[in-house]
Amino acid sequence: MPAANQPRRLAAALAVLLAAAAGCAPQDDIDAAKSTGGPAASAHACAKGRLATRAPGKLTVGTDKPAYAPWFQDDDPAGGKGFESAVAYAVADRLGYDRSDVLWQTVPFNSAVAPGAKKFDFDINQVSISDERRRAVDFSSGYYDVRQAVVALKDSPAAGATDVAGLRHARLGAQVGTTSLDVVNDVIKPDRRAAVFQKNDFAKTALKNGQVDAIVVDLPTAFYITSA
C-alpha cells in the first residue's frame, strides 16, 4: 500500500548516470550546422566511433538486475520495451548508435553510484539525483519525477498505516544505497534499525517470508510488486 500524505521531499528526479558519453553536441545542433554550412567539427567529434566509449563503435549501457516493469519488460533491458529501455535506445539513437550497437551490462546499484571507474558509458536504473551522488558521478537532467511508496502484506501491522507516524513501530526494509532507504531513515525514522538488502528482489522475498512488515520502493516498482 502506498503511504499516505507523503511530503514532497519523498519525490526525486530519476536521471541517466553518465560515464564516458559526454561532451557531444545534440543531434539537432549537428543537423543545423550541416544544413547551414556551419562548422562540421561537432558532427565529426560526435560521429559513431568518435566518442570515448568502452568499446569502439558500441555504446555500453548499465542497469541492475532484476530490471522491473514498468522500467523494463520481462527482466530484459535489451528488449526495448519498458520506459527506461526505450529511453536508453532513444539516447543511443541521438548519439548515432543503432540498436544493434547497444551493449547491456549488469551493474549493481551501489557500484553504479559509487566513485571510481565504470563498466558502462551510461547507466539507467532509477537513479535519483542527490547532492551526495553528484559528488561521485555525473547526471543527465531528470527524466521522471518519482515518489516513494510503502509495500506491505494485507495482514501486516504496517498495512493499516495512514501516515508516516503509523510506520514508526514497523520493521521496515529497503535496498542499500537507495533513496528508498534514505526515506526510511530520514523521514519515517522507525524505532528499530531498518533491514537493508542488496536488491529489491531480496527485500520483496523478505516481505513475503515475514522478515519485515513492509518495504519502501519507488512508486512504479511498488505497483509492479503488488500486481505481479
157 — pLDDT class (breaks 50, 70, 90): confident
Does the domain at 147-227 match CATH 3.40.190.10? Answer given as: yes
30 versus 173: the higher-pLDDT residue is 173
Residues 6+ apart with CB under 8 A from 184: 172, 173, 174, 190, 194, 216
User: How distant, in Å, are the alpha carbons of 1, 37, 73 from that of 223?
Assistant: 9, 50, 14
**Whole-number CA gyration radius for the chain:** 20
| Candidates 2.30.38.10, 3.40.190.10, 1.20.58.480, 2.60.40.10; CATH matching 13-20+55-145 | 3.40.190.10
CA distance 80 to 24: 24
CA distance 63 to 155: 34
Least trusted range by pLDDT, from 37-41, 44-48, 101-105, 176-180: 37-41
Q: What is the pTM of this model?
A: 0.68
Mean pLDDT of 2-11: 35
Say yes or no to pLDDT of 73 above 50.
yes
> Coil, strand or helix: which one is 57?
coil
Q: What is the largest CA-CA distance in the chain?
A: 68
CA distance 188 to 88: 33
From edge to edge, which strands make up the β-sheet containing 172-175? 148-152, 214-218, 172-175, 195-197
CA distance 158 to 188: 12
pLDDT digits (tens, 9 = 90+) for 215-225: 999 998 899 89
The structural domains of the chain, with segments of one domain joined by +, span: 13-20+55-145, 147-227
Q: Do domains 13-20+55-145 and 147-227 have the same CATH topology?
A: yes
69 — pLDDT class (breaks 50, 70, 90): confident
46 — pLDDT class (breaks 50, 70, 90): low
- The amino acid that residue 175 corresponds to is Q
Least trusted range by pLDDT, from 27-31, 87-91, 111-115, 201-205: 27-31
- The cell numbers describing 60, all together, are 555500453
Supply the mean pLDDT for the chain: 83
